[in-house]
Structure 1
Amino acid sequence: MKTQFTIAAACTLAAGFATAQEADRSDWPSSFTVGTASQGGTYFAYGSGWANLVGDELGISGGAEVTGGPMQNMALVHTGDLAFGLTTLGPARESMEGQNPIAPGLAMDNACAIFPMYQTPFSVTALSASGIDSIESIPDGARIGFGPAGSTSDTYFPRMLEELGVSYERRNGGWSDLGGQLQDGLLDVIAFAAGIPIPAVSQLEVQTDVNIIPFTDEQQQQLIDTFPVSEFEIPAETYSSLSEPANSVAMWNFAIANCDLPESLVNAVVDVVMSDNERMVNIHRSAQATIPENASQNTVLPWHPGAARWFRENTDVEISDDMIHGG
């Protein structure tokens, strides 16, 4: 299956770029912005990279914007304040059901999926000097940084730790800022939810000794049974602090677009991203999962018609009519 996708992508690469150049651009914007998350996190690195790549290939100006993460991105893309954004499927579902805290009661159904990104693992990090090396050893009332308010981490990790019996003082902020606070002793733990390797964790490892704390098999299963996450294992080679793979749970990420964007534009964007995975991996290692067959992981968001057309024409991924916006 993977070989078929690879061959299909290679065969359509040149034709796809030619089509993008020949497409009617009369309704295309002259520039676009991608909603990411805080600096120091994977979303910002990944989103900035693909915005620049797509902008260069299509000959329009593309850039990234620092945001509060998936919940805010769903809101901004839904309203059209941003053309594109990045989200995880848990916050996407809550936003579509009117449970986004930015606008409670508003069904954010004008944000469409355009391509799969990667899985977001949930992991806990503490300084080795703290003695915290397991979920059970997190002290009562620990000061825990959960990332930017409204991010996937901030939305789900507090609930997860409560489910596992952890009590805490909640702190929010960008990943780089929280990493600095952990190093300065102002935080006891950071609960990360981001694509790996997380830039802030890699930076911490250079400066000090850290513990990347896995879930036990029982804790992992408890979280899978309670939340919209799946089993995941952080490979040992991801961080120098890991001597063996670490049990985790994860949630899928998808790039999204305002559903009213021109079909030809979104089709061209998807073609740039999906037709050459090596370029995406050069942006961020997590993009190894940014491959066409993972489009099947979207069971939540409606597909943008331009994206659905690309997957139907170039892959064996099945997208039903009722999963396409306006279909």
Structure 2
Amino acid sequence: MNSGSFPSRHSLLIACGLLAWGSLAQADDRSDWPAEVLLGTASLGGTYQVYGDGLVTRISEELGITALSQATGGPYHNMTLVHTGEAELGLVTLGPARDLWEGEAEFARGEAMRNVRALFPMYQTPFHVVTLANSGIESLEDLSGKRVGVGPMGGTCASYWPRFLETLGVEDVQLQYADANHLADYLTSRLSDAFAFCAGLPISAFERLELNRSVHMFGMTEEQQLALLEAFPVEPFEIPADTYASMEAPHASVALWNFAIGHKDLPESFVYELMSLVLDAPEAMETIHPAALETRAEHLDKNTVMWFHPGAVRYYQEHGLEVPSAMLPPEMRTDEDAEAPEATDVDDTPD
């Protein structure tokens, strides 16, 4: 028998030693990892809930730690939970995140929530409206004097829809606050006249309505879209005609970008592995929700609000992507970056 066909005993011992050393090194790298992480999502029936539930399943199965999701009031709530350390991870839209980062939120005026770090881009959240087909409501102007569900109190939709309607001159709207599933039920029970929401497409509560009722969906006119682009840190968005069976043509809208966030004290190695889990296998995220088609590393530039976590910075840099100096956390600033301006606003330049 040719001994050259098999490794020597000495070689096997060396190989086994290297494997054991590698396993110990990996264990050391994870020695400061949390045993459990909590992810703040949003209301039941919204895209955050679906995306977040799928994400924590992947974290638990592939990173080997317990990950749980919690239904919350949405981005404002999630930003607060992560800032205070009550949750390790959260999902936010950049508009609410900016309000809290700068201490400009009405409910927490003057409290800048800077214990939060940006992780990875998720997708855009467009604003959309659904009514029953026989409601007689055909456009935003028709919402005057009507009962309109706008999502849970403190969520992105509930914060922005009232301001949008006021800017567009839609008056005397009776706003209703509840989670997406409840507002869909209000509509079918005729306790609401319209359901104005915002979430990654398709919105599961809208899909459920469409399966059970004849509905009408609409967006904005070009003039309304332009007015909102001038007044708010949003981007133009077109809802594709094939998003729902009830749509016959694309709808003009505006949108905010969503990002995952984490507490600043999360271990760098954990955040790096989380970034790899999400961004190295985008097709796995797309099976969780179609909106994850936009969960791509190159969209990191959409965040001009919060500093990135060092683990996220390392991931982007290793993949050839530049993180602007203003988005580096203080602990990663060089002398040259010392005078770099802090994040102060959402980039409202249309793509």
Name the TM-score, length of structure 2 as normaliser: 0.85
Counterparts of residues 80-91 of structure 1 (less than 5 Å)? 80-91=85-96
Output the aligned Cα RMSD: 1.5
1:10-89 superposed matches below 5 A: 24-89=29-94
Alignment-derived partner of residue 147 in structure 2:
143
Structure 2 residues without counterparts, runs of 5 or longer: 1-22, 334-351
User: How many equivalent pairs are there?
Assistant: 308
Among residues 249, 261, 264, which one is paired with 2:266 in the alignment? 261
Closer, same or farther: CA 23–312 of 1 in aligned 2, 3 Å: farther
* In structure 2, C-alpha distance between the alignment counterparts of 1:142 and 1:250, rounded to whole Å: 24
SS in structure 1 at match of 2:109: coil
Provide the C-alpha distance between the structure 2 equivalents of 1:51 and 1:235, rounded to a whole number of angstroms: 29
Pair member with larger Rg: 2
Range 42-51 or range 20-29, more displaced:
20-29
Measure how far apart 1:22 and its partner are.
5.8
Q: Which of 170, 177, 181 pairs up with 1:176?
A: 181
1:103 counterpart residue number: 108
Q: Is the 8 A contact 2:139 2:219 kept in 1?
A: yes
Q: For residues 106-153 of structure 1, give each alpha carbon's deviation from its aligned partner in whole angstroms, at most 9, with x where no partner exists.
A: 100111110000000011111111011111222x32111110111110
Which residue pairs with 1:155 in the alignment?
159
Higher RCO, Cα 8 Å, sep 6+: 1
Rounded to whole Å, the distance in 2 between the matches of 1:157 and 1:301 is 24
Q: Which residue identity does 1:253 align to in structure 2?
A: N
Q: Which stretch shows the higher mean deviation, 20-29 or 72-81?
A: 20-29
In structure 2, what is the Cα distance between the partners aligned to 1:245 and 1:170?
26
CA deviation map 1:42-73 (0-9, x unaligned): 00000111111122111011121000000000
Answering whether residue 308 of structure 2 is matched by residue 303 of structure 1, we say: yes
Q: CA deviation at 1:99?
A: 2.2
Question: Tell me, what secondary structure is at the counterpart of 2:278?
Answer: helix
> Match of 2:257?
252
Matching residue's letter, 2:134: A
Question: 2:217 is matched with which residue: 189, 212, 217?
Answer: 212
Provide the rounded CA distance (Å) in 2 between the counterparts of 1:102 and 1:223: 23
Task: Decide whether the 8 Å contact of 2:82 with 2:115 is kept in 1.
Answer: yes
**For 1:238, what is the secondary structure of its paired residue?**
coil
- Matched AA of 1:290: T
2:204 is aligned, of 199, 202, 206, to 199
> How far does residue 237 in structure 1 lie from its aligned partner after superposition?
1.0
Q: CA deviation at 1:210?
A: 1.2
Structure 1 consecutive aligned stretches of length 4 or more whose deviation exceeds 6 Å: none
Counterpart amino acid of 1:162?
E
- 1:145-196 CA-to-partner distances (Å, cap 9, x unmatched) read 1101111101111100111111201110000000000111001111111111
Letter in 1 for 2:250: P
**Match for residue 120 of structure 2?**
115
Shift of 1:23: 6.0
Work out whether residues 127 and 219 of structure 2, in 8 Å CA contact, stay in contact via their aligned partners in 1. no
Query: Aligned to 2:108, what secondary structure does the other structure show?
Result: coil
Q: Partner of 1:320 in structure 2? A: 324
Deviations 1:198-224 (A, max 9, x none): 000000000001111121111111110
The residue type paired with residue 159 of structure 1 is R
The corresponding residue for 1:287 is 292
Question: Does 2:130 correspond to 1:133?
Answer: no
Cα distance, 1:217–1:21 mapped onto 2, change above 3 Å: farther
Q: Is the 1:236–1:245 contact (alpha carbons within 8 Å) kept by the matching residues of 2? A: yes
> Would you say 1:240 and 2:248 are equivalent positions?
no
Equivalent residue letter for 2:60: G
Q: Give the structure 2 partner of residue 275 of structure 1.
A: 280
Task: State whether residues 54 and 62 of structure 1, in contact with CA within 8 Å, keep that contact through their aligned partners in structure 2.
Answer: yes
Q: Say whether 1:222 aligns with 2:227.
A: yes
Distance 2:147 2:96 in 1: 24
Task: Tell me how far 1:298 sits from its aligned partner.
Answer: 0.8
The answer to whether the 8 Å contact 1:122/1:250 transfers is yes
Distance (whole Å) between structure 2 residues aligned to residue 322 and residue 238 of structure 1: 37
